[in-house]
Structure 1
Amino acid sequence: IQPPPRISSSVYDACHEVRYYLSELTLGQLEPVVNDPELTDAPCRVLRAAAGGPKANITGFNMRAFQASTGQPRYDPWERNEAWRYQGPYTRWNRLKSGFPGLGIATVAFTIYCGYEYFFLEDEHHHGEEHH
């Protein structure tokens, strides 16, 4: 089976030509492939993407307009009242420090104790000696 003789320049006509060519392949083994809309629409999506056209929006929902409308307002009268959440004792670093009180002192004390034990205390078990 040959593809249709006419090859159009527009993407829309090219999609229909691909579908026409696939519809001619109605042999017994290829019939499930031809009737699968996921496979027959794939060439059209590829051609639309290659042409640089926008992606098809089947819902009609414009995400860019939604994000623009839900962003930070131009003037927020309550902005001054909410500023305390991000300043002073409520900054991210201060909240982290207050989450672990005494961690710095405990780390220094533990390091000093490990050094004292290593240098000044003797090992009383005598693991390396062979007399019993």
Structure 2
Amino acid sequence: MANPPSPRLFRDPWAKREAWRKHPVFSNRAMFSSMFPGFGVAVVAFTTYVVIDNIFWKGQEEHKSHH
């Protein structure tokens, strides 16, 4: 009966140089979240601006329509 081949025969000589690809910083989720930095803050700021602007202008329109 033949002995199974030694694991050293199938060892990848480039494993250390390719290890960076498996680091969590380079995962798809991390790459997507860093694609648009500040996008969440911008959405909140713009939504707040629109809501306040609509409330302000709605009050101004009521005053003008009574004249």
Same fold (TM over 0.5): yes
**Secondary structure of the equivalent of 1:76?**
coil
- Among 21, 35, 54, which residue is 1:118 paired with? 54
| TM-score, normalising length: structure 2 | 0.57
How many Å separate the matches in 2 of 1:98 and 1:121?
36
Equivalence for 1:103:
39
- Tell me the CA shift for residue 111 of structure 1: 1.1
Equivalence for 2:5:
none
Unaligned 5+ residue runs, structure 2?
1-9
Equivalence for 2:30:
94
- Tell me whether 1:77 sits opposite 2:13 in the alignment: yes
Equivalence for 1:3:
none
CA offsets 1:5-48 (integer angstroms, 9 cap, x no match):
xxxxxxxxxxxxxxxxxxxxxxxxxxxxxxxxxxxxxxxxxxxx
Which structure ranks higher in relative contact order (CA pairs < 8 Å, sequence separation ≥ 6)?
Answer: 1
Unaligned 5+ residue runs, structure 1?
1-73
How much is the aligned-residue C-alpha RMSD, in angstroms?
Answer: 2.7
How many Å separate the matches in 2 of 1:86 and 1:120?
52
Larger Rg: 1
| TM-score, normalising length: structure 1 | 0.33
- Tell me the CA shift for residue 112 of structure 1: 0.9
Q: Give the share of equivalent positions with the same residue, in percent.
A: 35
Across the two proteins, how many residue pairs are aligned to each other?
Answer: 55
How many Å separate the matches in 2 of 1:93 and 1:114?
30
- Which residue identity is paired with 1:114? V
Q: 5 Å matches for 1:1-132?
A: 74-122=10-58
